[in-house]
Amino acid sequence: MNKQRKTGGFTLIELLIVIAILGILAAIAIPTYMGQKKRAIYAEAATNLQSIRLLQEQFYAENGRYAPDVDNSIATAETAFYNAANDTDTNIDGATNIVTYIPFTPGVAENLYYDYAVTCPDPNAPDATIPSFVAVATPKAGTIVEDTTGQGNFWINDRNERNF
């Protein structure tokens, strides 16, 4: 007569099989998760650059030129937006910031994975035939997208040419 096992425990083989299955699932899931996270972070740059382009186009429609960026940085976006709301033309460093002219607030600088900058050529320069701009998102050092991915900078220009 077969004796049935009355204990509720698992054998060592059963436990090893379960651990092996969990290990295989983790080996598949973790790289997939990291890839999804990087794509979401890249989406931050793409969305913010498209917002900058649309705001620049709106500024151009209203003023006949693109918004200047004297200090070539949107890193202090919150401060500059606050200053713009209070009718001041300076950011924390005392230089005029593009956010003074367009209401671009990407979020709190510490929480962003990219630094944003807009380059507008001087409209008074002899070689400036048409107005233009280039908005660039540069990965911050120490983040998951810190240019070790080979992705580099994302950019968009006034003709909606982009590398993302």
Taking only the tens place, the pLDDT of each residue in 49-95 is: 999 999 999 988 988 888 876 544 444 444 444 444 444 433 333 33
CB-CB contact of 83 with 89 (8 Å): yes
Contacts of 15 (CB under 8 A, 6+ apart): none
Q: How are strands ordered across the β-sheet holding 154-157?
A: 114-119, 134-139, 154-157
List, for residues 103-131, the tens digit of each pLDDT value: 888 878 788 888 888 887 766 666 656 77
Q: Do residues 118 and 56 lie in contact, with contact meaning Cβ atoms separated by under 8 Å?
A: yes
The token pair at 113 is 């994975």
Token pair 């002219």: residue: 101
Q: pTM (2 decimals)? A: 0.65
Q: What is the CA radius of gyration of the chain?
A: 26
Domains of the chain, first to last:
12-157 (3.30.700)
